[in-house]
């Protein structure tokens, strides 16, 4: 999630704060999705509704947009923008155009359950913007960020049982080191895990960040570029929310529920996610013959977008079409 020295630099997928919501790679994602008027589309990570709104504009009244999100707070904002407040979204457009709005269904659930939502070959397109949203990141009470002190929670879905506090305080040292290494790609994972276990109990984000910073002081310019706690916080978030397992489930379901010619577009923010997407599309295109891969290399944000929205710097988008 590359935001330089800020925390969770590879996982901020849905743009800025609620008041200045900036969807990443918006034009590119919509272009590759190739929205058909009257079609059925799934926004697997509806977030604050930025991508969904652009899809809905193109669907028109005959269409159906299905939005999924683990976070009920994000869904409420999306509901206001996409359903309750749609007339305010089209200020300046003719009244008959504002009425040309698709059916919208918003569901509080993980996109891992996407296969349960639709029958085979009934969807024209799927968009997934993977990562933590700014709504979550900037709310200290959610515990995603070490920029402000908060409880060690990190759950995207408040109904989930496992919290970051439970992981930090109850995993044994080897298990914790493995989580930090596997999901954070942190080379100093054993040193960090040892320091965490010696400092238990740990209850807050700032306490955890202090422990990590003391245990893993940056030794070179590359390490100084990001905060020492960045990769560990990323690892805990991914582990708590089972993000990679959910992504694999989405990619497994996509070819079953897409119509021929339907497209799947995935925006990811770190190498672990991008590798999973790349491998799934490649296998689907070469081995199983059910995809035509549309992006030989990942699409990245322009310099202009990166200047305007620094969180777009690490975004990588891949797309494939069902054959």
Residues 208-227 have a mean pLDDT of: 84
% helix / strand / coil in the chain, to the nearest 5? 50, 15, 35
Number of domains observed in the structure of the chain: 2
Buried (b) or exposed (e) across 233-260, using 16+ Cβ within 10 A?
A: bbbbbbbbbbbbebbbbbbebbbbbbbe
Compute the distance between CA of residue 193 and CA of residue 236 in angstroms, rounded to an integer: 12
Question: Strands 64-69, 40-43: parallel, antiparallel or unpaired by DSSP?
Answer: parallel
Q: Is the peptide bond before 201 cis (omega within 30 degrees of 0)?
A: yes
The SS3 of residue 20 is: helix
Q: Is residue 206 part of a domain?
A: yes
Q: Is residue 261 part of a domain?
A: yes
Examine the domain organization and report whether 205 and 270 are in the same domain: no
- In CATH, what number is assigned to the domain containing residue 273? 3.40.50.150
CB 284 within 8 A of CB 262: no
Examine the domain organization and report whether 183 and 212 are in the same domain: yes
Compute the distance between CA of residue 49 and CA of residue 96 in angstroms, rounded to an integer: 22
The SS3 of residue 160 is: coil
Domain endpoint, select from 202, 222, 240: 240
Checking if the pLDDT of 10 tops 70, the result is: no
Cα first-last separation, the chain: 32
Domain endpoint, select from 240, 264, 285: 240
Examine the domain organization and report whether 268 and 205 are in the same domain: no
Compute the distance between CA of residue 1 and CA of residue 312 in angstroms, rounded to an integer: 9
Examine the domain organization and report whether 234 and 262 are in the same domain: no
Q: Is residue 9 part of a domain?
A: no
Tens of pLDDT along 295-314? 999 999 999 999 998 889 99
Examine the domain organization and report whether 151 and 231 are in the same domain: yes
Checking if the pLDDT of 225 tops 80, the result is: no
Residues 216-235 have a mean pLDDT of: 83
The phi, psi pair for 59, rounded to 5°, reads -75, -40
Examine the domain organization and report whether 68 and 152 are in the same domain: no
Give the long-range contacts of residues 187-196, CB within 8 A, separation 24 or more. 188/215, 188/216, 189/232, 191/215, 191/216, 192/216, 192/232, 196/168
Classify the phi-psi angles of 143: left when phi > 0, otherwise alpha if psi is within -120 to 50, otherwise beta: left
Examine the domain organization and report whether 231 and 259 are in the same domain: no
Examine the domain organization and report whether 50 and 178 are in the same domain: no
Residues 232-240 have a mean pLDDT of: 97
Examine the domain organization and report whether 23 and 128 are in the same domain: yes
Examine the domain organization and report whether 127 and 253 are in the same domain: yes
Q: Is residue 323 part of a domain?
A: no
- pLDDT for the residue 12: 37
Tens of pLDDT along 130-157? 978 778 888 999 999 999 899 999 999 9
User: In the structure, how many helices (H) and strands (E) does the chain have?
Assistant: 15, 7
Examine the domain organization and report whether 58 and 187 are in the same domain: no
- pLDDT for the residue 221: 62
- In CATH, what number is assigned to the domain containing residue 202? 1.10.150.170
The phi, psi pair for 225, rounded to 5°, reads -65, -30
Q: Is residue 316 part of a domain?
A: no
Q: Is residue 5 part of a domain?
A: no
Mean pLDDT for the chain?
A: 88
CA 144 to chain centre: 13
Checking if the pLDDT of 9 tops 90, the result is: no
Q: Is residue 169 part of a domain?
A: yes
Q: Is residue 303 part of a domain?
A: no
List the domain range (segments joined by +) for residue 68.
18-135+243-295
Examine the domain organization and report whether 271 and 260 are in the same domain: yes
CB 15 within 8 A of CB 311: yes
Compute the distance between CA of residue 142 and CA of residue 119 in angstroms, rounded to an integer: 35
Q: Is the dihedral of CA 272, 316, 72, 235 positive or negative?
A: positive
């Amino acid at each position: 999630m590359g935001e330089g020295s800020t925390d969770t630099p590879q996982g901020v997928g849905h743009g800025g704060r609620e008041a200045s919501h900036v969807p990443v790679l918006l034009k590119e994602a919509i272009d590759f999705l190739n929205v058909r008027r009257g079609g059925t589309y799934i926004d697997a990570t509806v977030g604050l509704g930025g991508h969904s709104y652009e899809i809905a504009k193109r669907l028109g009244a005959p269409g159906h947009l299905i939005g999924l999100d683990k976070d009920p707070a994000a869904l409420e904002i999306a509901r206001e923008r996409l359903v309750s407040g749609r007339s305010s979204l089209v200020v300046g457009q003719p009244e008959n155009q504002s009425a040309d709005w698709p059916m919208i269904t918003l569901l509080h659930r993980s996109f891992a359950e996407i296969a349960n939502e639709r029958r085979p070959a009934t969807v024209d397109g799927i968009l997934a913007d993977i990562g933590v949203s700014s709504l979550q990141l900037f709310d200290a009470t959610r515990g995603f960020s070490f920029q402000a002190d908060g409880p060690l929670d990190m759950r995207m879905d408040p109904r989930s049982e496992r919290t970051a506090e439970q992981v930090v305080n109850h995993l044994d040292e080897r298990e914790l080191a493995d989580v930090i290494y596997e999901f954070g790609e942190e080379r100093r994972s054993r040193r960090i895990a040892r320091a965490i276990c010696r400092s238990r109990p740990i209850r807050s984000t700032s306490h955890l960040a202090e422990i990590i910073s003391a245990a893993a002081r940056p030794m070179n310019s590359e390490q100084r570029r990001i905060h020492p706690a960045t990769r560990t916080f990323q690892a805990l978030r991914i582990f708590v929310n089972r993000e990679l397992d959910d992504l694999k489930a989405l990619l497994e379901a996509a070819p079953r529920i897409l119509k021929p010619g339907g497209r799947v577009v995935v925006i990811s923010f770190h190498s672990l996610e991008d590798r999973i997407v790349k491998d799934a599309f490649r296998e689907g295109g070469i081995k199983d013959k059910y995809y035509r891969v549309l992006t030989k290399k990942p699409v990245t944000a322009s310099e202009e977008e990166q200047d305007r929205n620094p969180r777009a710097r690490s975004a990588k988008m891949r797309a494939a079409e069902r054959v």
